[in-house]
């Protein structure tokens, strides 16, 4: 996968993208990141990428010309690349979108900054994406979040592909409780069932715990959880929740 990022601050990606899973995925040639500073595509001597908004108002707005020129250069050899504009007004990013994006061969992200961007920039994006209902200084941090979530879903990126299958939000359920050594610590012990070696019972317990945890913390997810009739009855009887 090739991921190209249009940003005013490419140096922001040096640390996060050179550690852990993202670093290993690059070393294994599963993903390649390229950064493009759209300030390099300005034509004036001051290399201006923003200007005051028409109609007045506070803050500065990103100009369309540098981003357009940068995007044209980036897409010259790959015109079908999917272009994503990071904005608080976009669709909210979730695990389903992460899976969809992880299957793409080429992605381009546009990072906004300052007060916002010229409205005409929207027409060059295939879709707009947000990581939540809050405002960041720029789109760089949001792109880091999205890239981390989607790269780990590329086959081979994790030590075990099963890890991604068991993640929270996969199947619309939160993850079940996890334990490791020691068996007992500070008076709290690992559930005996997990020590039994009975894999079928352990899987059933994990499924039940995932449903319980989701019901307690994120009941809104249960409507898409594909629960069995028995599991739906369990939720109705114990939590008065109808998925």
Residue positions in the annotated binding site?
Answer: 112, 131-136
Active site residue 115: yes
Active site residue 105: no
Q: What is the DSSP code (8-state) at residue 156?
A: T
Q: Give the E-state strand segments of the chain in sequence order.
A: 2-6, 32-36, 50-51, 61-62, 82-92, 106-111, 116-117, 127-130, 184-185, 188-189
Q: Which of 118, 148, 167, 231 is catalytic?
A: 167
- Indicate the annotated binding residues for S-adenosyl-L-methionine: 112, 131-136
Active site residue 78: no
Contacts made by residues 196-201, CB under 8 angstroms, sequence distance 24+ = none
Q: Which of 115, 128, 148, 231 is catalytic?
A: 115
Active site residue 51: no
Q: Which of 50, 66, 140, 152 is catalytic?
A: 152
Q: Which of 50, 66, 88, 243 is catalytic?
A: 88
DSSP characters for 160-195? Answer: -HHHHHTSTTTTS-PPPP---S-SEETTEE--GGGG
Active site residues: 88, 115, 152, 167
């Amino acid at each position: 996968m090739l991921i190209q990022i249009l940003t005013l601050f490419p140096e922001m990606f040096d640390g996060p993208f050179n550690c852990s899973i993202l670093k290993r995925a690059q070393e294994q040639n599963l993903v390649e990141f390229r950064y493009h500073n759209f300030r390099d595509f300005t034509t004036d001597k001051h290399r201006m990428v923003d200007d005051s908004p028409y109609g007045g108002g506070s803050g500065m707005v990103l100009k369309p010309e540098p981003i357009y020129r940068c995007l044209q250069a980036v897409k010259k050899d790959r015109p079908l690349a999917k272009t994503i504009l990071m904005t608080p007004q976009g669709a909210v990013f979730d695990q389903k979108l992460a899976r969809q994006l992880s299957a793409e061969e080429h992605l381009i992200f546009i990072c906004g900054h300052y007060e916002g961007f010229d409205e005409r920039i929207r027409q060059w994006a295939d879709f707009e994406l947000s990581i939540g209902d809050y405002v960041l200084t720029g789109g760089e941090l949001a792109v880091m979040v999205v890239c981390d979530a989607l790269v780990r879903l590329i086959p081979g990126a994790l030590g075990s592909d099963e890890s991604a299958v068991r993640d929270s939000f996969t199947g619309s359920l939160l993850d079940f409780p996890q334990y490791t050594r020691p068996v007992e610590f500070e008076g709290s012990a690992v559930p005996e069932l997990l020590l039994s070696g009975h894999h079928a019972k352990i899987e059933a317990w994990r499924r039940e715990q995932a449903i319980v945890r989701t019901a307690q913390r994120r009941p809104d997810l249960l409507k898409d959880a594909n629960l069995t009739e028995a599991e739906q009855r369990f939720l109705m009887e114990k939590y008065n929740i109808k998925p």
